[in-house]
A and B are shown apart, each in its own frame.
Chain A
Amino acid sequence: MYQVGNLVKELSDKHGRERDSLMPILQAIVQKHNYLTDEAMVEVARELDISAAEVYGTASFYTFLDTQVKGKYVIRVCKTITCSMKGKSDIIQTIEEILKIKVGETTADRQFSLIETNCIGWCHKAPAILINELPYTELTPEKVSEIIKDYMQK
């Protein structure tokens, strides 16, 4: 959990308090914290003068605007057909073994979350993943192992 503090007010000062300010504000909160707490959504609802249910309904539509707890690094493994054909299952298995979590879970120290996602646009260099916003492509179990271990050092 994180305390939202003044963040929503600052973001509203920056992006405005209209309905079309909602996406930039939610995205900025997610940029910083990787997911939206209930407190954050209620704050946003208050600043923008819309209902909390509306904020939740909008956020929950978008895969990247998570309303469930996520770790500091969100690993998204593409599961669409080409990545699937080129070994995504091995990549997932490798990551699951290193981090000791299954797809859909977050590590106990809240550092990593592992989820599957749909086509991220790197089909010619499959299999591919995103860690937060950075793409990693042409993966092998060895390569992804190194990448994850690097992140674990951070």
Chain B
Amino acid sequence: MENKGLTKVDLIFEKIDNREVLDKGFKMTREEIIQEMLDSGLKGRGGAGFPTGMKWKFTAAEKNPDKYIVCNADEGEPGTFKDREILDRVSNKVHGGMAIAGKAIGAKKGIVYLRGEYRYLLPKLMIELESFHKMIKEIGYDFMIEYRMGSGAYICGEESALFESIEGKRGEPRNKPPYPTVSGVFEKPTSINNVETLVTAMMIIQHGAKNFIQYGTKDSRGSKVFSVSGDTPTPGIFELELGMTVQQFVNEFGDGDTKAVQVGGASGFCVPRKKFTETIIGFEGVPTGGSMKLFNSSRSMYNVLHNYLEFFTEESCGQCTPCRVGCQQLLKGVEKVKKGEAKSTYLNELMKLADSMKIAAKCGLGQSVGNAFKSIVGNFKEEIIY
């Protein structure tokens, strides 16, 4: 595996001339835009990591002329706050990215689904939106963006739950197939992309795919915005090349006593100190939407695990058995083990349950609960038991 080392980059928050980039993009054909995305190797920046070029290609191929580009601004993964910064500082690039995507897939309508906790950003975003619409009209492209608010539900970050929410229903993930590119919001072909992905798309149009692939590794092209928090002297937003090791990350951001790094939030993986050097941060190693939490030796990993499990039991939509009940069993189970009311061997049963949840749950939430559970229990068993 390639290891690029830790390199700071400044592309996402770069001030640009929106009009210039849009003009460039709109001069390209939809096939050219899609090819540029494919050549760039850009993968979704929300955490799932689906190749953006492929997503736009599938949606473009749909015959139905009524299509949507949806921006997933329901950032809710614990420890992730990069989309908030992006929307606060460069929302013009978000809107621009949506327009480019719209051109590529053939959509005239864009929807930004903004989480309720970020409502305070709305006035500023509306001002930017107005000037964006003016610009698009001048360019002569038929494209309108509307904003839809969330109201406090982590699961609405899941693509099909997000569609359900827009449609006025409970945010319960759908059965797949059909996939969003075929049947998405309002059952129309939809490409749903993360805030950062859309900004990165603008970047790729601006600088070209060839430039983009200079950053990152073969499987994890480009740079990414990381949200760093926890036991670190320098919490905040940092744009870094993909492909560094966790050790390199800790060298830069740790407080000298880092015991573990949770990569990818509550639904991600806990990397213990002994695995820092061998773990790559990227799609070929530990994928992430950017959430990076550092824990030093004063922290109880039991508390961390408990906090995550409580989070999931509350935020699960509740429709499917493995997730709704499984989360409760994992939470109650570790509590009992900690109190000594259950034998420590009970953790083995819970590990098996986590395995089942991974393949039995209806959506990514239930499927990911096991990640944190297994990596924390697996690497910090003594802290759970004693």
Whether A125 is near chain B, meaning CB under 8 Å from some CB there, is: yes
- A23→B163 CA distance, assembly (Å): 12
User: Which of B79, B84, B228 has the most chain A CB atoms closer than 10 A to its own CB?
Assistant: B79
Residues of B contacting A23 with CB < 8 Å? Answer: 148-149, 151, 165-166, 168
- Does A13 touch B at the CB level, under 8 Å? no
Instruction: Determine whether B227 belongs to the interface, using a CB cutoff of 8 Å to chain A.
Output: yes
B36-44, B113-121, B201-209, B346-354 - the one binding chain A: B113-121
Contacts of A84 on B, CB cut-off 8 Å? 303, 307
**CA of A79 to CA of B310, assembled, Å:** 10
Kindly provide the distance from the CB of B151 to the nearest chain A CB, expressed in whole angstroms. Answer: 4
Query: Is A123 a contact of B152 with CB atoms below 8 Å?
Result: no
B229 within 8 A of A: yes
In the assembly, what is the distance between CA of A119 and CA of B266, in Å?
11
B168 touches A61 (CB 8 A): no
Nearest chain A CB to B233's CB is how many angstroms away? 12
Residues of A within 8 A of B171 (CB): 61-62
Query: A67 near B: Cβ within 8 Å?
Result: no
Q: Is A53 part of the contact surface with B, judged by Cβ < 8 Å?
A: no
Question: Contact at B235–A27, with CB atoms within 8 Å?
Answer: no
B169 to chain A, nearest CB (A): 6
B residues 31-51 touching A (CB-CB < 8 Å): none
Contact of B314 among A19, A27, A118, A122 (CB under 8 A): A118
Closest to A57 in B: B170
- Tell which of B16-24, B53-61, B70-78, B124-132 binds the partner: B70-78
Task: Establish whether residues A20 and B167, one from each chain, have CB atoms under 8 Å apart when the complex forms.
Answer: yes
Could you tell me if A123 and B119 are in contact, using CB atoms closer than 8 angstroms? no
Tell me the smallest distance from the CB of A20 to a CB of chain B, in Å.
4
Task: Please tell me the number of chain A residues within 8 Å of chain B, measured between CB atoms.
Answer: 37
- B229 near A124 (CB under 8 angstroms)? yes
A45 to chain B, nearest CB (A): 12
A54 to chain B, nearest CB (A): 9
- Kindly provide the distance from the CB of A128 to the nearest chain B CB, expressed in whole angstroms: 10
Interfacial residues of chain A within 41-96, with CB under 8 A of chain B in the complex: 57-58, 61-65, 79-82, 84-85
- Report yes or no: B165 in contact with A133, Cβ–Cβ below 8 A: no
Q: How far is the CA of A63 from the CA of B231 in the complex (A)?
A: 29
A120: Cβ under 8 A from any B Cβ: yes
**Closest Cβ neighbor of A61 among chain B residues:** B170
Q: Are B84 and A121 in contact (CB under 8 A)?
A: yes
Interface hub of A82, A120, A130 (most chain B Cβ within 10 A): A82
**Interface: A134 (CB within 8 A):** yes
Q: How many residues of chain B have a CB within 8 Å of chain A?
A: 49
Residue of B nearest to A60 (CB): B170
B235 touches A123 (CB 8 A): yes
- Is residue A21 contacting chain B, with contact meaning CB distance below 8 A? yes
- Alpha-carbon separation in the docked complex, A61 to B172 (Å): 9
**Are the CB atoms of A124 and B235 closer together than 8 Å?**
yes
Tell me the residues in window 223-282 of chain B with beta carbons closer than 8 Å to chain A beta carbons.
Answer: 227-231, 235-237, 266
A61 to B155, CA, bound (A): 10
Cβ-based interface call for A139 (8 A): no
Query: B347 CB to closest chain A CB, in angstroms?
Result: 21
Asked if A81 and B304 sit within 8 Å, CB to CB, the answer is yes
Chain A residues closer than 8 Å to B152, beta-carbon distance: 62-65, 117
Q: Which residues of B169-188 are within 8 A (CB) of A? A: 169-171, 186
For residue A114, CB closer than 8 A to chain B, the reply is no
Return 15 A-B CB contacts under 8 Å, by A number.
A61-B153, A62-B150, A62-B153, A63-B152, A63-B153, A64-B152, A81-B293, A82-B293, A118-B154, A119-B79, A119-B80, A123-B80, A124-B229, A130-B117, A135-B120
Known: A18-B168, A58-B168, A118-B311. 20 other contacts (CB 8 A): A19-B167, A27-B151, A58-B169, A62-B171, A63-B151, A64-B152, A65-B151, A80-B307, A81-B79, A81-B266, A82-B293, A85-B230, A85-B299, A119-B76, A119-B154, A121-B81, A121-B117, A123-B78, A124-B237, A125-B235
B residues lining the A interface (CB < 8 Å): 75-81, 83-84, 115-120, 148-154, 165-171, 186, 227-231, 235-237, 266, 293, 299, 303-304, 307-308, 311, 314-315, 317
Which 8 A-B pairs give the minimum distances between C-beta atoms? A63-B152, A124-B235, A123-B229, A22-B168, A62-B151, A64-B152, A121-B81, A61-B170
